[in-house]
Amino acid sequence: MPIDDDQRARLRQAKLRAIVREAFDEPDGDPASYPNGAALITGDRAFVLVEDATPRSAGGPVLWATREGLGQLDVLVDLAEVPAAGTDDRDVAADLARRLALFDPPARVWSVDGSSAVAVERGLPPDPEPAPDGTETLIGLLVNAGLDVVTEDGIVRGEELGLEVARIVPDPDVDWRLEVGVGQFDQAAAAMMYADRPTADALDAVVREVRRHRYAGAPMHPVRNLCRERWLRHMVIAEPDLVGATFLRPIESTVSRRNLRDPHPAFAVGSLADGSPVVVACTYGVDVDLLPLAADVRDREAPDAELVVVSAGDLPASVHSLADRMAGTVRFVRLAAPWEG
């Protein structure tokens, strides 16, 4: 018989209380509501049990603790509940530990097994992967089509105003080939549709179709509305003075983007007018993991850099309050949405 949401919440709370008693020797605290988990407050200290943890689960606990005005935060990750998703369970906890350590006071992460808890060491951020050798000719096709060339996770993509319309993929017969289409799934369909056309012609057809719907002031359309944070990045790279920079280039995140629809900050790095380094995080919509992820990228690229958060709308007050807990300078810039013309 399936359990309802209230029963599940009570079970999580009882589980957390047992862990806190057994592993931390803390007296009973005050239970608190936490989405997809449970929380317990003892004085100025909070314990948060995170179930279904993913690499982007850092923002929720620290935002919640900040809103509650709590100091010490202990995040408990139940490894038995971590979705597989091709990622090593302990790597998820180590990645969360690295990001949560970038706040003041730093949150501590614990892996939970039954009623025991083990402190998790900070993991290392993944190193950015360069464009693979042998892709120069295909990159030339992307450039000739007027696309931005962006390399993330070792994959070279061609973007139109931040939207992926082509990527370079391995091919056992010719080493590398260009797949065209909006995102990975559209590219599979396009491969059949344009199978009898030269690659450059297929790319031209897809780019022309995307440009019909993706331009400043275009009517509402799914193609116009996808990946708006990356459209913002395209704009600030083209006009770095919008954020007080003299030069910016795109960089990849420390967490891979899952798809074209879910919010995921788009990052750039460069120099300010005084020559000092800057990391830019472009965002759109609601993204509770924005600042932990942005802090992580800055720490990898240039820990002493100013972090500039660029948005096309007002960000919640909780995001601004969380910035006060981050080491280093954080500046917020709101720009007019380029898609609105």
What are the tens digits of pLDDT across the range 3-31? 777 888 888 999 999 999 989 988 778 99
Strand pairing report for 72-78 and 108-113 = parallel
For CA atoms 322, 292, 333, 304, give the dihedral sign. positive
CA distance 206 to 198: 13
Query: Any idea which residue has 């919008």 for tokens?
Result: 242
What is the side-by-side strand order in the sheet with 330-334? 245-251, 266-272, 277-283, 306-311, 330-334
Q: Give yes or no for a cis peptide into 31 (omega within 30° of 0).
A: no
Per-residue pLDDT 10s for the chain (341 aa) are: 567 778 888 889 999 999 999 899 887 789 998 888 899 999 889 999 998 899 999 999 999 998 888 889 999 998 776 554 444 545 899 999 999 999 998 999 999 988 889 999 999 999 999 999 999 999 999 999 999 999 999 999 999 999 999 999 999 988 999 999 887 656 554 554 555 567 889 899 999 999 999 999 999 999 999 999 999 999 999 999 999 999 999 999 999 998 888 999 999 999 999 999 999 999 999 899 999 999 999 999 999 999 999 999 999 888 998 999 998 899 999 999 999 97
Phi, psi of 108 (to 5 degrees): -105, 140
pLDDT of the residue at 312: 96
Strand pairing report for 175-180 and 108-113 = unpaired
pLDDT per residue as tens digits for the range 263-293: 999 999 999 999 999 999 999 998 999 999 9
pLDDT of the residue at 185: 54
For CA atoms 90, 286, 247, 204, give the dihedral sign. positive
Q: What percent of the chain has pLDDT over 70?
A: 92
Q: Is 223 helix (H, G, I), strand (E, B) or coil?
A: helix
pLDDT of the residue at 196: 57
* pTM score of the predicted model: 0.91
Of 37, 57, 56, the residue nearest 47 (C-alpha): 37
Domain boundaries, the chain: 5-119, 136-215, 227-340
Looking at domain 227-340, its CATH class is alpha beta
